[in-house]
Structure formats: C-alpha cells, structure tokens
Amino acid sequence: MLKMVDELSSSMLPVVTQRIPVIAKVGMKQAQGYLGALIITGYALGRVYLGTTERGQLLESILPGARNLAVSQILKKYSEANPLETLKKASPSFQLLFGNTLDAWMEEKGLAGISDSATLRDYLELMMLNGWAWALCEDEVIIGRGEKD
C-alpha cells in the first residue's frame, strides 16, 4: 500500500500544484506529504467503514508467488473500483464523517480559506477516495468480504 501511496501522490502532485498554485507554496515535498496523508486517512476511514481496524495480512511465510497474486488481485479490483459510488451507498452519518474529516484536515493545515479551496478540496477528496478504495479492495481479496450484488 505504501508504494501505491507514494506513486499516486507523486503522480497527482504536478496536476494539483498546477491547478492550485497556492499549494505549491508549501513546497513540493510537503505538498506530496499532504496528498499521501490524505490517501492514508481515506484508507483508515475505509477500515472504520468495514467495521475493523484490523488489516488483513499477507503473512511473510506465504510464498512470494501467492503474495504477488494477492497484490495483483487487489490492484485489479482497485483499478475497477468506483469508491465515490460506494461512499454514496454508505450511511449519511458515515458520509458526514468522511467530509468532516477532510474539512477539519484542511482547516488544521490552513487551507480552508485559500483561493480555489473548493477545487483543492475536490483533489484532496480524490486522494481520500483512493485510500478508501484500496481498503475495500484489500479487504475483499485478503479477508474475502466485499459488496454483494
């Protein structure tokens, strides 16, 4: 997951800093840290949504081939995920928690009142949704739970 966080935050950094120049003023390393932190926050909220903070573990004793297969399955589900739709199906109170968490984070970092804060919020929410999607996909592959059709 940490590799995904690093790759996603670094790939989104140029887009975010180009569209919202004020975020670049904190420095590129700090801006990437913000994006990564929100992916991890989204992941943590995904674990809360799933009802457990216990993360499914791929034990080190599992053969590397089996570990790689599980990670490949998570990546496949992740690429097909639509976390915004899943979030819309969550309870209104959980949706409120998700939004309030982001708003509080922006307030804490002094980003709530900047120009283009609504656009920035959209990008930051996207980061959180990516972490959320990873948690749901990981849980489905490793634990065997998931949305039922």
Q: What is the mean pLDDT of residues 113-128?
A: 87
User: How many folded domains does the chain comprise?
Assistant: 1
Q: Is the pLDDT of residue 101 over 90?
A: yes
pLDDT at 71: 78
**99 within some domain:** yes
What is the domain extent for residue 112? 2-141
Q: Is the pLDDT of residue 108 over 90?
A: yes
**91 within some domain:** yes
Q: Is the pLDDT of residue 87 over 70?
A: yes
**76 within some domain:** yes
First CA to last CA distance, the chain: 26
pLDDT at 148: 42
Q: What is the mean pLDDT of residues 91-120?
A: 90
**104 within some domain:** yes
**147 within some domain:** no
Q: Is the pLDDT of residue 149 over 60?
A: no
Give the type of residue at 35. Answer: L
**149 within some domain:** no
pTM: 0.81
Phi/psi of residue 16, nearest 5 degrees: -65, -45
